[in-house]
Copies of this chain bind each other. A is one copy, B any other.
Amino acid sequence: MQTATIITIGDELLIGQVVDTNSAYMAVRLNEQGVSVKEILSVHDEREAIVSALERAISQSEIVLLTGGLGPTKDDITKHVLCEFFSTYLVENKQVEAHVRDLYKNRPEVLNRLTATQWQVPAAAQIIENKIGSAPIMLFRREGTTIVSMPGVPEEMRCAMDTLIAEEYLADTASKAFILHRTLRVAGIPESALAILIEQWETNLPKNLHLAYLPQYRTIRLRLSGTGNELDSLTHQLDTEFQTLQSLVSEYVVAQTGEPLEVVLGSYLKAHNMTVASAESCTGGKVASLLNKHAGSSAFYKGSVVAYSNEVKEQVLGVCKTDLEQYGAVSEQVVGQMAKGVIKVLQTDCAIATSGIAGPDGGTKEKPVGTVWIAVAKKTADSVGSLTADAEGISVYTECLHLRGDREAITDNASAIAILRLLQWLEK
């Protein structure tokens, strides 16, 4: 099987000013091509660091993808280091020049002498067009390894990967291999208990299959990965074992996929022709962002009210003022009314509501930071489980979460768990 090493270049990654999101995207796309990523290295914009990473990468992989350091300013040195590494020199490239001139045709102030360096490219490199930016993609070959340098701007890198794959620059028909993954999401069982439950099956898995446990937001994703040279037999083998896994853990399954919970919820809502809204206090729009993050969300998502202040809870969502005063904003009473309120105001079939203390301030002894009330509600003619619809035909489920971690962790967990609870309730 072909392996790849990813090298991301930029001081900003090493001082923590920027999170490297590029590597994950490249890894997914490489896996789709049957290429396994062996290692990801992030290094400074420094000659020695880049050279050392390149040497390591070339010694261990057939594909090396580099991102970053291709801008027109002094701190960007990748192109010069590549010239030195491949013993080549810069030449002007007319096609890149024409592309850059076209890109900035309405912004003549950009076409200065520094921007002009963008069409100077290493003579030894194969040049591939960067459709949405000025720094071209550069491809080199050495000792059976393909080395590709791409821009670090995430959307330009994503576009470059699309081009590299569509035009088969990374294809290697000689050693064609396949990497397949199947993921299942379970909830309601601790990771260790789950491992004991499936221990015998896991121990007897064939050598080319591998199980991983990925706990996330009170669920665990079980990922079964397989590698092989023959697509049909690998698919059959993997699917057979995956079915066994599903049957072993069936009572805990919340999704037959590892896709984000909001995607699973979205698919359910679309299939059942239902709409959703959110009413958020402590999560502050995070649930909304998740619900419409993915293409096609307009089919089921109508909108949200982020009711951060009590005034908004009262005036827009119709939360009862005396309940706000008596129980506080972080209470079962208020979060339930928020969920019902947003169903009425935005006229949806179901809703998610949150109200809690995300911290770092605002905690009390009774309601410490991490206390989050969540509610899910739906319009219903019939009673559901132990819940019966009220006079307005809306049923509500509420739960108090006690979350650990910082503001970000509390917001992310509360949002995901609220989405999980609506999904579980609907699936019942």
Asked whether A114 lies within 8 Å of B406 as measured between CB atoms, the reply is no
**Is A301 among interface residues, defined by CB-CB distance under 8 A?**
yes
**Is A269 among interface residues, defined by CB-CB distance under 8 A?**
no
**Is A367 among interface residues, defined by CB-CB distance under 8 A?**
no
**Is A53 among interface residues, defined by CB-CB distance under 8 A?**
yes
Asked whether A72 lies within 8 Å of B181 as measured between CB atoms, the reply is no
User: Which residue of B13, B16, B309 contacts A31 across the interface (Cβ within 8 Å)?
Assistant: B16
Q: Known contacts A15-B31, A15-B37, A75-B211; is A304 also within 8 Å of B316 by CB?
A: no
**Is A113 among interface residues, defined by CB-CB distance under 8 A?**
yes
**Is A386 among interface residues, defined by CB-CB distance under 8 A?**
no
Count how many chain A residues have C-beta atoms less than 8 Å from C-beta atoms of the other chain.
113
| Chain B nearest Cβ from A343, distance in angstroms | 13
Copy count, this protein chain: 2
Asked whether B312 lies within 8 Å of A211 as measured between CB atoms, the reply is no
CB-defined contacts of A192 to chain B, threshold 8 Å: 72-73, 110, 112, 114-115
| Assembled-state Cα–Cα distance A39/B20 (Å) | 13
Closest residue of chain B to A404 (Cβ to Cβ) is B132
**Is A346 among interface residues, defined by CB-CB distance under 8 A?**
yes
Closest residue of chain B to A258 (Cβ to Cβ) is B17
Asked whether B404 lies within 8 Å of A155 as measured between CB atoms, the reply is yes
Residues of A within 8 A of B (CB): 11-21, 23-29, 31, 36-45, 49, 53, 56, 71-76, 107, 109-110, 112-115, 132, 153-155, 158-159, 179, 181, 183, 190-193, 195-196, 202, 210-215, 221, 223, 225, 258, 278, 284-289, 291-298, 301-309, 311-312, 315-316, 345-347, 359-362, 404-409, 411
